[in-house]
Amino acid sequence: MDHVPMTAAQPAIVLSGIEKWYGTRDRPVHALSPTDLSVAEGEFVVLLGPSGCGKTTLLRMVGGLIAPTSGRLMVEGQLLWRGEQRRPEAVSELGMVFQDANLFPWLSIEDNIALPLELKGMVRAERRAKAHELCRLVGIGGFERRWPRELSGGMRQRAAIARALSYDPKILLMDEPFGALDAMTRDAMNLELQRIWMDTGKTIILVTHSISEAVFLADRIVLLSPRPGRIDTIMDVPIPRPRRSEVQSAAVFQDIALALRQRLAAIS
Amino acid sequence: MSDLAPVGTPPSDALARRRGMREGLLPWITTPILLAALIGLWHVYVKWSGISHFILPAPADVWTEWLRLMTNPRGWNHTYWTLYATLAGFGWAIIIGVGLGVAIARVRWLELTLNPFIVATQVIPKVALVPLFVVWFGFGVTSKVIVAAVLAFFPILTNTVLGVKSIDEGHRDVMTSLNATRWQIFRRLELPSALPYIITGLEVGIVLAIIGAIVGEYLGGNLGLGRMLIERMNAFEMDEMFAILIHMSMLGFLLYWSIGILRRLLIPWHGSARR
């Protein structure tokens, strides 16, 4: 698999002049000033920044959850937003993972994972088989029949990733997916995510406020600054794959982390 | 449970389950004991105090009367009509309560316009309206059905509204990001999510429905356990009156208990169903 962003092919996501205003007419909040960004097919991009920098807003606009105030957003060559209207064809290429696993407590793990397939009308036996395959991929094989409450936080998040992968979207959008996990579980999940990404070849945009998570996972880090939210710096992470946990003590890792830390201190 | 090694066999919670089972058995032992003690106390009191038979009959006499009631087709006929009024009223309360509840929870202006009226129907002492219902709907079973429905309706409505409003925003985001249709959102998210609340409403509602049916029977008509009780009271047949009272209570228990069964069947995933 080729993890170097392809230059000739069409980008997975293109934002042109995407802007977001919240609030009322008298007290408007500028959540994101006009932003341009292009994400290549198969690329792993991390959005990093202090709270209020608009990184979650940006991700939710790409995910089709909130409409941008202005600008053009293309997903796999298709226009995502036409005014306030979301175009379903473009959404089907997106899979979302949230900070909370957001599994439905009344569905078993396998039914949770297969929920998107059920909504698309796939027959039961077929979607069960797919759910089992995905459970193995994300490392929760054997837990298919459990209720979500019977799983630990990390395992629930694995199930949420499996659900997002179930209908085989080209793009995975992750909003602080491991933010609620303890540090050790988080490190393990970062390794797992890298493996899943390398196995499936998806394009991933991940939002985080952890510098080390950003450097460990990203091909490219987009640093955002607040008030109003805008892109401050874009940094490449030229560390070869697969990266192991030990890479965190390597000089190149430390250098990038330090540069990011200094920049973050300057903008927040 | 460690997340680092999630492969292999799922963890065993057999121990916790066994403890839960032991706890679940407790009421099956304590209830008969307490009940026997209560009846014993009753028996001793009647025997030693010399209280008039017309005020408090002995438990043995009540038991004899209850057995007679159970073998008497007339008794079953009255039971049937009370049960009919209760369940029919309850059914209407579910249809209107859940339907209106979902609508109110979704449509803000509907809630704002209807709320004063719904509150008004609650602050009026509804039992005081029963004579009016008898005038409007006659001495037949219809007026009882309506009283049962009016009483049971409110808890079902308020719980449905609360249930639909309590839906997790994150769950909604999942459905939105999956391009779910409105019907799919209702069927796969809103309904199952609100179900624990609705069932709690049903639990309160069923008890109020049987109260409604019996109070309706007190005030008019010639059918139902309520009517039977009033007749026995007027004839000073205290043994029989107590027997009917116990019969009514058991009917209420049975109905309440069936909602508990419904809870286990419909929402086995919910904490309230594990007991």
A108-125 average pLDDT score: 93
Residues of B in contact with A189 (CB under 8 A): 3
Q: Is the CB of B171 inside 8 Å of chain A's CB atoms? A: yes
A148 in a structural domain: yes
Strand order in the sheet with A171-175: A94-97, A171-175, A203-208, A44-48, A220-225, A230-236
Mutate: best of B1, B166, B177, partner A, most A CBs <10 A = B177
Q: Is pLDDT at A143 greater than 60 in this prediction?
A: yes
Same-domain pairing of A189 and A245: no
The tokens for A79 are: 């226009």
| Residue B11 DSSP symbol | P
> What single-letter amino acid sits at A89?
E
- Cβ atoms of residues A241 and A3 within 8 Å: yes
The answer to whether the Cβ–Cβ distance between B193 and A185 falls below 8 Å is: no
Query: Which of B224, B232, B222, B223 shows the shortest CA–CA distance to B248?
Result: B224
A69 in a structural domain: yes
pLDDT at B5: 41
Same-domain pairing of A61 and A142: no
pLDDT at B28: 87
Rounded distance between C-alpha atoms, residue B168 and residue B157, angstroms: 20
Q: Which residues are CB-contacts of A262 (< 8 A; sequence separation ≥ 6)? A: none
The answer to whether the Cβ–Cβ distance between A185 and B177 falls below 8 Å is: no
A255 in a structural domain: yes
The answer to whether the Cβ–Cβ distance between B1 and A63 falls below 8 Å is: no
A49 in a structural domain: no
The tokens for A207 are: 């939002």
Same-domain pairing of A127 and A112: yes
The three-class DSSP label of residue A52 is coil
Extended strands (E) in chain A: 13-23, 28-39, 44-48, 70-75, 78-79, 81-82, 85-86, 94-97, 171-175, 203-208, 220-225, 230-236
How close B24 gets to chain A, by Cα (Å)?
21
The answer to whether the Cβ–Cβ distance between A64 and B4 falls below 8 Å is: no
Q: Give percent above pLDDT 90 in chain A.
A: 59
The answer to whether the Cβ–Cβ distance between B7 and A141 falls below 8 Å is: yes
Range of the domain at A25: 10-29+57-77
Same-domain pairing of A229 and A267: yes
Same-domain pairing of A237 and A141: no
pLDDT at B126: 80
CB neighbours (10 Å) of residue B33?
Answer: 9
Rounded distance between C-alpha atoms, residue A249 and residue A193, angstroms: 20
Dihedral angle over CA of A211, A214, A217, A222, nearest 10: -150
| Residue B186 DSSP symbol | I
Rounded distance between C-alpha atoms, residue A48 and residue A223, angstroms: 5
Same-domain pairing of A197 and A238: no
The structure's pTM equals: 0.80
pLDDT at B55: 87
A213-226 average pLDDT score: 94
A88 in a structural domain: no
Same-domain pairing of A222 and A178: no
Residue of B168, B177, B269 lying closest to A64 (CB–CB):
B177
Q: Is the CB of B166 inside 8 Å of chain A's CB atoms? A: no
Q: Is pLDDT at A85 greater than 90 in this prediction?
A: no
Rounded distance between C-alpha atoms, residue A261 and residue A235, angstroms: 13
A67 in a structural domain: yes
Same-domain pairing of A107 and A169: yes
The answer to whether the Cβ–Cβ distance between B3 and A185 falls below 8 Å is: yes
The parts of chain B modelled with pLDDT lower than 50 are: 1-12
Same-domain pairing of A245 and A192: no
The three-class DSSP label of residue A131 is helix
Rounded distance between C-alpha atoms, residue B89 and residue B5, angstroms: 55
> What single-letter amino acid sits at B227?
R
pLDDT at B18: 64
Q: Is the CB of B187 inside 8 Å of chain A's CB atoms? A: no
pLDDT at B15: 61
Rounded distance between C-alpha atoms, residue B198 and residue B259, angstroms: 11
Same-domain pairing of A129 and A217: no
Q: Is pLDDT at A119 greater than 70 in this prediction?
A: yes
Q: Is the CB of B265 inside 8 Å of chain A's CB atoms? A: no
Strand order in the sheet with A13-23: A28-39, A13-23, A70-75, A78-79
How close A184 gets to chain B, by Cα (Å)?
9
The domain boundary, picked from A181, A207, A233, lies at A207
A220 in a structural domain: yes
A207-236 average pLDDT score: 92
Number of domains making up chain A: 3
CATH of the domain at A142: 3.40.50.300
How close B269 gets to chain A, by Cα (Å)?
5
The answer to whether the Cβ–Cβ distance between B178 and A139 falls below 8 Å is: no
The domain boundary, picked from A207, A233, A257, lies at A207
Q: Is pLDDT at A190 greater than 70 in this prediction?
A: yes
Query: Which of B213, B196, B200 shows the shortest CA–CA distance to B271?
Result: B196
pLDDT at A6: 47
The answer to whether the Cβ–Cβ distance between A143 and B188 falls below 8 Å is: no
Same-domain pairing of A168 and A263: no
Q: Is the CB of B269 inside 8 Å of chain A's CB atoms? A: yes
More confident residue, A142 or B15: A142
Rounded distance between C-alpha atoms, residue B5 and residue A147, angstroms: 19
The three-class DSSP label of residue B67 is helix
The tokens for B258 are: 């069936």
Same-domain pairing of A168 and A242: no
Q: Is the CB of B170 inside 8 Å of chain A's CB atoms? A: yes
A47 in a structural domain: no
